[in-house]
Amino acid sequence: MGRCPLTPEEAALVLAGLGFNRGAYIYLAGSQIYGGKSRMRPIINLYPNIVTKEDLLSPTELAPFRNFSSQLAALDFIACAASDVFAMTDSGSQLSSLVSGFRTYYGGGNAPTLRPSKKRLAAILQENSTIRWQSFENRIRKMIEEGQRVHIRGFGRSIYRQPRCKECMCKHQ
């Protein structure tokens, strides 16, 4: 129904529908996936170059951060903020909100953030036995295109995810 974060399978389908090739490197931020390696198998089979901070840093380099979850999250933030493309698989986490807002504010239009509409994706996936791949790709691209647009932040919305405009934020030089 589009209420939960995307599963690894759903994320793989979105990336494939957007034309990401098998050789793409994907940085997986956050904690371990519920269900472990068996749940990750579909995305790893399609995108074998998935890496985490544990893959990129040695145990010695990670040791000072181990007992500090916010510092571990900061490592994920740095990797996601600097990435070529950031794909959100959830809609409510602090990490995705902060990364999305940072990329919107500082990216100058050159830091794509993929925001799949979970509700629309659920509707598309419900047609899985009748939808053709080309139609799936077109609908995924349209969904992502609409999510790419920068919107004015509504009242009560996260300023971190949706900075209203550059003029409303403080910038000390």
Query: What contacts 164, CB < 8 A, 6 or more positions away?
Result: 152, 153
Angle at 148 between CA 146 and CA 153, to 5 degrees: 95
How confident is residue 137, by pLDDT bands cut at 50, 70 and 90? very high
Rounded mean pLDDT of 155-170? 56
Q: Which 3 state secondary structure label does DSSP give 134?
A: helix
In this prediction the pTM is 0.79
CB-based contact 144:113 (threshold 8 Å): no
User: What percent of the chain shows pLDDT beyond 90?
Assistant: 38
Indicate if the pLDDT at residue 154 is higher than 50: yes
DSSP E strand boundaries for the chain: 26-27, 50-51, 86-87, 113-114
**Please, what is the average pLDDT of the chain?**
82
Amino acid occupying residue 58: S
Query: What contacts 5, CB < 8 A, 6 or more positions away?
Result: 89, 90, 91, 118
In degrees rounded to 5, what are phi and psi of residue 75?
A: -65, -40
Rounded mean pLDDT of 103-115? 81
Indicate if the pLDDT at residue 1 is higher than 80: no
How confident is residue 39, by pLDDT bands cut at 50, 70 and 90? confident
Higher pLDDT, 93 or 86: 86
Give the C-alpha separation, 20 to 11, whole Å. Answer: 11
What pLDDT score was predicted for residue 119?
87
